[in-house]
Chains A and B, each alone.
Chain A
């Protein structure tokens, strides 16, 4: 199978949950909305295989970090909206600080490698 030359960077493993939580901080969204939001905010750099959102959403539901409810969209279709819970907000904080620490650490290593 021939792959396209312009391969988009894959999402760092384990970051999808965090991204979903982050997108939900502003307002409740349905799955499609979450995918769209991630795509736009990352200026098309971060794309996910959109279906993989759903197992991730089930994980978040199970942990109690998001809540789901069926609502009508502006176009009058039924859709499941996900809303961040207080627990989820706390978890987002934890994950973000961990992530920033990691990025900073990676950055230090890379810079040091350049200087050497």
Chain B
């Protein structure tokens, strides 16, 4: 109540400030006049009475000030402080700009990385009680998490008591019939209770019914919100209608909520119940489904795991099989989704916050340098009666203002950093963690921004005040104190600079090594010429291209019409494009050699006769496919050099046969040719042995077209898609890209680019910070030693020796920092050697370069204060005492 009254009273004065002053003046004048009158009446002369009255009244100016202060708002002095700070900055813009830039960088990076941490760790599972959700799977020696087979799933579902519900999911794709032709779309097959288990309800229509979950149930589909809006214009009457997927009619029964995503199947647009199984899927040993379950209340992860292991063992006794997948795995869904990135993100956040801290300390040191040159101003203000609180208030205002402007700039910078980081993220990371889409400025990041602004402001405000409190006004006027705090700060600052320089060395060396790795990676021998290659994925519906005849005709038709396009030199197709993945693989055997079930893993590709020539792969021995191969002729295969070297080291493989156990039936193929290694797998992996089957014998319905052109490959892409649809509108066409785009977009390239850029970014920050830190410390020391330098020069020291004095001090710090940094960077590069490609962890050139860059820029940073020191006028410096 009382504060309110006071506030209202102040407010009433605020709006009549002018009258308030004049009334006060009038009142005081009246008072003096009355005293004067009385004294006159007592017999004094007029002049004496006037002076006596004034003496009796006291210093009217002081009392007027005091009276006004009673009614003044705190904000008014703050506004004064802010105005004063801005005037100060305008006089020394380089100080303000550097400070704000450093703060913006430090805060921006912290904020951006916090955005990712927030998205990944604070809000990754948008489901009801996400802690109860478990990833439930089989497990075996090779892999701790292994998918379930359908019969196992049904038994686990029936036998377990730990889970409220247990469901499975498995990715799939469909050909969606659209007016402009068939289009491949991503889908997900899930068991009936999947959405109930997650706690997600359709916003339109209904969930799957038990009837639709049974084998042989009707074709129904739930649409993702995006698909409903994007493909069907958000029509509410779509529910109940049918869409055509893989040439079959599916009834739309509902639409999923807009914010729904499932991290393991994010791009899925069409969700169907698992109510029809392929031949393989009916087998107990065909593992194709991932499990997710919701724990009953009070059941622990551990209890659920031991129960599932028991269930799994019981089933094995019941159905002994050749394949033994004897275990079970139960772990929180959250861990499965973000488990791998959590430590990485937390480390990054830790690093960013550390950088921010260093940034703040550096700016604080700049503020100190400034306050050092303002000691006289402060001393004068103090002598004129400014209270210590008022003087400290000035610094607090400046610190907070600096932090505030810095953080505003940081918010903009963070937006840019986040976009940059998101673009650099490795592909599979983005796909398996769709919550990255939620990265951005929101309430959480806003709160974090406010928090770091306050902390930075506090640090910046307190540092100079701290010094102020040690400093006696008198010393300030004399400009000659050697206070303990100044020494403390110099020592602290110097140590900090050494640490910063060491960190900068480590990060720059890391960035250099990773940058070289990236370069080497992108220039690794491919075994083919990736320029002028256009690629495209084709999906032929099996319902239409049922028999061999029709499929072969399709192959011919594609070659004919694509070859007719202008600029096309040749066209081939393959089941899997090169440089993507060492998959699918085959386990091969050699007739006539002993076989003990070992896995002779090779890449398996099904290719058209013109495919290898189109790539410009080199034939080493034998011949390639002629196009005359088909199901009636004996099986043939072309192998790569790696296969020949590994499995036929001392003989000519041509004419030998290799076999596999596809579907349990051994099949043999005769080797007819050897090609030089084409890099089928990732850029950073060793080339695996590979076998190429003629596609005319395997009759694939999903394959990638590779077209060599004389012109720019990207220009061909649109006409290419059109040409395929002209053959048959039912053909699915997707992923039109040039070969070089695909290589750039591979996991390995992205991972290396990501780490190189990220480290590079941090290294650049570290460089800037260590240089400003060095500058701050050297400048501070120079400003404290002005008198000493003046004395030296008065005694005959040359300017060059003053330069040497200052640069020498910086040189010491730099030398120690670089030495420590060098040692640490050897250790650090051993830590990242898994990310290195084609460079050694100890690379003299990189380290030498880093030392040169840091050494030279350190010298530059200390040059400016040195020049200031050398231009000290000895007379002025001495007279200042």
Contacts and interface: CB of A to CB of B under 8 A. Distances in A.
The finding on whether chains A and B are genuine partners in a shared complex, rather than unrelated, reads: yes
Interface in B52-86: 56-60, 62-64, 66-67, 69-71
Interface in A54-86: 54-55, 57-59, 61-64, 70, 77-80
Interface size class of B (residues with CB under 8 A): 20 to 34
B26 interface: yes
A52 interface: yes
B27 A51 contact: no
B89 interface: no
Contacts of A58: 66-67, 70-71
Contacts of A99: none
Top 9 closest A-B pairs, CB basis?
A55-B66, A51-B58, A49-B58, A51-B63, A58-B70, A32-B34, A32-B31, A58-B67, A51-B57
B214 interface: no
Contacts of B26: 78, 80
Contacts of A32: 30-31, 34-35
Nearest to A64: B5
B154 interface: no
Q: What band does the interface of chain A fall in when counting residues whose beta carbon is under 8 Å from B?
A: 20 to 34
B429 interface: no
A62 B6 contact: yes
A89 interface: no
Contacts of A28: none
Given A51-B60, A55-B63, A55-B70, A61 B30 contact: no
A61 B8 CA distance: 12
A32 B62 CA distance: 18
B29 to A, nearest CB: 10
B798 interface: no
Contact of A62 (B10, B31, B57): B10
A35 B67 CA distance: 17
B442 interface: no
Given A55-B67, A58-B66, A70-B23, 20 more contacts: A30-B27, A30-B31, A31-B31, A51-B28, A52-B63, A52-B66, A54-B27, A54-B64, A54-B66, A54-B67, A57-B67, A58-B70, A59-B70, A62-B9, A62-B70, A63-B2, A64-B5, A77-B30, A79-B30, A80-B23
8 contacts: A31-B28, A50-B31, A51-B63, A54-B63, A54-B64, A55-B67, A57-B67, A78-B26
B30 A50 contact: no
B24 interface: yes
Contacts of B60: 51
Contacts of A79: 27, 30
A50 B58 contact: yes
Nearest to A79: B30
B70 A50 contact: no
A48 to B, nearest CB: 9
Interface of B: 2, 5-6, 9-10, 23-24, 26-28, 30-31, 34-35, 56-60, 62-64, 66-67, 69-71
Contacts of A78: 26, 30
A18 B148 CA distance: 88
A58 B20 CA distance: 11
Contacts of A51: 28, 31, 57-60, 62-63
A78 B33 CA distance: 12
A30 B28 contact: no
Contacts of B70: 55, 58-59, 62
Contacts of A54: 24, 27-28, 63-64, 66-67
A63 B6 CA distance: 6
Given A50-B35, A61-B9, A62-B9, A30 B30 contact: yes
Contacts, number: 71
A35 B56 CA distance: 11
B417 to A, nearest CB: 50
A100 B366 CA distance: 56
Nearest to B8: A64
B61 to A, nearest CB: 9
A64 B9 contact: yes
Contacts of B58: 49-52
Most buried by A among B2, B28, B58, B70: B70
A59 B72 CA distance: 11
A62 B27 contact: no
Given A62-B10, A63-B6, A64-B9, A50 B27 contact: no
A3 B690 CA distance: 110
B874 to A, nearest CB: 41
Contacts of A63: 2, 5-6
A62 B30 contact: no
Nearest to B61: A51
B10 A31 contact: no
Contacts of A55: 63, 66-67, 69-70
Contacts of A31: 27-28, 30-31
Most buried by B among A30, A54, A62, A80: A54
A49 B35 CA distance: 13
Nearest to A63: B6
Contacts of B35: 32, 50
Interface in A9-50: 30-32, 35, 49-50
A62 B67 CA distance: 11
A30 B63 CA distance: 17
B564 to A, nearest CB: 94
B170 to A, nearest CB: 76
Contacts of B63: 51-52, 54-55
Contacts of B57: 49-51
B28 to A, nearest CB: 6
Most buried by B among A50, A78, A79: A50
Contacts of B69: 55
A50 B56 contact: yes
Contacts of B23: 70, 80
A62 B66 CA distance: 13
Nearest to A70: B23
Contacts of B28: 31, 51, 54
Nearest to B31: A32
Most buried by B among A51, A58, A70: A51
A96 to B, nearest CB: 20
Contact of A80 (B10, B27, B66, B71): B27
Nearest to B10: A62
A35 B31 contact: yes
Nearest to A80: B27
Contacts of B2: 63
Nearest to A49: B58
Nearest to A61: B9
Contacts of A77: 30
Nearest to A59: B70
B75 to A, nearest CB: 16
A59 B58 CA distance: 19
Interface string A80-103: 100000000000000000000000
A104 B829 CA distance: 80
A17 to B, nearest CB: 12
Contacts of A50: 31, 35, 56-58
Contacts of A52: 58, 63, 66
Nearest to B68: A58
